[in-house]
Structure 1
Amino acid sequence: MTDSLTKLAFQTVQQGKNYFAIAHKMVSGQIREWIAPRVEQQTQSLSPQALQKFQKRVDEILERDWQDAEAGVYSTDLLFEGATDTFWWDYPLLCWELPQVWEKANRRSYREFSSQIDTRGYPNYYLQNFHYQIDGYLSDRSAELYDLQVEILFNGLGDTMRRRILAPLKQKTASLAAHLETPRDLRILDVACGTGRTLKGLRSTFPEASLFGVDLSPTYLRKANQLLCAQPGELPQLLQGNAEALPYRDAFFHAVTCVFLFHELPSPVRQNVLNEMFRVLQPGGVVAICDSIQVEDDPDLKPALENFQTLFHEPYYRDYIQDDLPAKLQKAGFTSVSTYSYFMSKYWVAHKKATTMA
């Protein structure tokens, strides 16, 4: 009875998030048409078949989320935590910022940064106002609003999508953990950790492991530190760094994760990042990547993918949705590459081949 009530509560909360996100998009869309009509941005309607598939994908990912929590992959408490924790503070700020975002989008302005932000030292591809966000990923305000923006974009399923890496990661690292002296000896790195939400999930699944996070944005790392300080267990070690030159020694980690990064990288950089992941991973280690689905996963949803790159400033997305990530993983040296998808996210899990004794 308790599990049934918890599942009902989970479904009710998710349904509320879904309805709110849809309502926000509809109302804000109407307001935008009144005060800042879109300039030559044509979007495609989804077919009835695509809409049915879309809803089926929602149902599937929610059921998998519940099943993983019920199986003990992570605490059921995690199902009720999310970017809505600071909703009453963040949502008014998000709405206040929308007219500026719309104005930037209409001007196709995507490289504007406050004079107070030092952009020196960052790669050119990173100095973008992705999603037409104010100051891209380099301001405290951007870091404060990012998680709520993602939840609204994905109808309340942002964290649900992130958590899909946890079950395969727990399964694949079990044999590695069995040979360690203590659970704390298991080392996991989250590349492009952002505001720390993936690390929060990792802490629930690996309560005693040594967790590490690296990101280019100092403001997002501050936000991550704020979030993770409130969690039980040892605080993950956070570093500012470029995923193309990870600040760790060779073969240091047992697992590496990466969520929502690759669609915002040029193709050659994706390969560089995979090469670095391979370098810092121990033989026998596992990498788990989450990002957007691609055209090959469901051609009926291609209009939704093309709408995304039309409505948001995502300069590398068109190439990403056609990219062959398994080939890039294999080129980096990974083996046993497996892929699967849930809702609008796709996952790659691969291994660094274990060394054999002569």
Structure 2
Amino acid sequence: MSDIFTKLAYQTFQQGKAAFALAHKNTASQLRNLINPPINQLRTKPLSPDILQLLRQRLEQILETDWQDAQLGVYPESLLFDNPWEDFWRYYPGICLDLLNIWERVNQNKYQEFSPDIDIQNYPNYYRRNFHYQTDGYLSDTSANLYDLQVELLFNGAADPMRRRVLAPLKEGLKAFDAVPPQQIRVLDVACGTGRTLKMIRASLPKASLFGTDLSPTYLRKANQLLSQIPGELPQLMQAKAEELPYRDNYFHGITCVFLFHELPPSIRQRIIEQCFRVIQPGGVFVICDSIQAIDFPQFMPMMENFPAMFHEPYYRHYITDDLVKRLTQAGFEAITTQNHFMSKYWIAHKPEDATV
């Protein structure tokens, strides 16, 4: 009976997050049309009732999968209710205030605007952008503080359930190393951002050694702050390009990468895959989570086509038709499978046990 009540509590919890996200979007849309109506011209025609119904069904499906994985012991039930409430109440007003700046950038097509005190010279060209038109791109403390909330609002409260879908294939892939003591298992989260995925991996793998890399020093500070709240946790975070990972060959047993590939030029995607192949041990598993692609749900194409215009995602159009299975195969991975959950897609790839690099 307790499981029934817990499941009802989880469903209510998620419904509350979704309701707030929808209310936020509706209010923001109305204000935007009053304050900056030209932005409305970027919008595509409204989604059909059939598409909206499909979205609701897929949201229900991922929440059911999320619950089932907790029941199966992939991660503790407490993770289902983990939400950065303190950050939410502290930083939500900042999201609302920053909307004015975002709308202005959208209207004037400004997507490479940074504060004078931010040095962008040491970052690759593809990174020197105001992704999502947000202030100072990924290079400010404000951006790091707002990011997780922004993503939850964008996905109607389902961002965390989408992130958690990497945990089951990661744990399954690590079974190849059952003979290795748990504390000697090494897992890397590439482009770890605020550390939210790493926090989930910690809940799923309480003894593994966890590592994270990211290009943004402010996001790494945020990740360090988040992970340091876990008793006994010593975050092993490093500022680094994902296409130039600073680790020796065959070092990690598992690697994850969440919501990165759609923000990369095609050549950089390939280099990152090759780097992950290099640093992962033979028999290791590589799990990618990112946006759905055109081949998965053609009926969602209106949303996918509108996304780069509304949120400045310059590499997204190529991403939705990119063959990542082919890229993974070219790098040397095998036994590649894919999954879809709500608005996300997953690639699970394995390094051959007889690989020499």
Tell me whether 1:14 sits opposite 2:28 in the alignment: no
The one-character-per-residue Cα deviations of 1:289-330 (angstroms, maximum 9, x if unpaired) are 000000110111111111212211000000000110100000
Task: Give the conservation status (yes or no) of the 8 Å contact 1:43–1:310.
Answer: no
- The alpha carbon displacement at 1:259 in A equals 0.1
Specify the alignment match of 1:245 in structure 2.
244
Specify the alignment match of 2:203 in structure 1.
204
Q: How many residues align?
A: 355
- The alpha carbon displacement at 1:233 in A equals 4.3
Specify the alignment match of 1:121 in structure 2.
122
Unaligned runs of 5+ in 2: none
Tell me the SS of whatever aligns to 2:287.
strand
Tell me the SS of whatever aligns to 2:38.
coil
Given the two structures, how large is their TM-score scaled by the length of structure 1? 0.97
Report matched runs for 1:52-71 at 5 Å.
52-71=53-72
Given the two structures, how large is their TM-score scaled by the length of structure 2? 0.97
Tell me whether 1:282 sits opposite 2:257 in the alignment: no
Specify the alignment match of 1:144 in structure 2.
145
1:201 & 1:133 partners in 2: Cα distance? Answer: 26
Specify the alignment match of 1:167 in structure 2.
168
Structure 1 stretch displaced more, 301-310 or 86-95:
301-310
Tell me the SS of whatever aligns to 2:256.
strand
The one-character-per-residue Cα deviations of 1:147-201 (angstroms, maximum 9, x if unpaired) are 000000000011110000101111111121x121x21100000000000010001
1:101 & 1:16 partners in 2: Cα distance? Answer: 26
Q: Which amino acid aligns with 1:157?
A: A
Tell me the SS of whatever aligns to 2:114.
coil
1:37 & 1:344 partners in 2: Cα distance? Answer: 28
Specify the alignment match of 2:2 in structure 1.
2
Q: Which amino acid aligns with 2:200?
A: G
Tell me the SS of whatever aligns to 2:314.
coil
Tell me the SS of whatever aligns to 2:210.
strand
Report matched runs for 1:258-277 at 5 Å.
258-277=257-276
Tell me the SS of whatever aligns to 1:212.
strand
- The alpha carbon displacement at 1:75 in A equals 1.0
- Identity rate of aligned residues, in percent? 58
- The alpha carbon displacement at 1:120 in A equals 1.6
Specify the alignment match of 1:324 in structure 2.
323
Specify the alignment match of 1:218 in structure 2.
217
RMSD (Å) for aligned C-alpha atoms: 1.2
Q: Which amino acid aligns with 2:21?
A: A
1:308 & 1:173 partners in 2: Cα distance? Answer: 35
2:38 & 2:190 partners in 1: Cα distance? Answer: 35
Tell me the SS of whatever aligns to 1:159.
helix
Structure 1 stretch displaced more, 142-151 or 2-11:
2-11
- The alpha carbon displacement at 1:45 in A equals 2.2
1:42 & 1:155 partners in 2: Cα distance? Answer: 19
1:38 & 1:272 partners in 2: Cα distance? Answer: 39
- The alpha carbon displacement at 1:236 in A equals 2.9
Unaligned runs of 5+ in 1: none
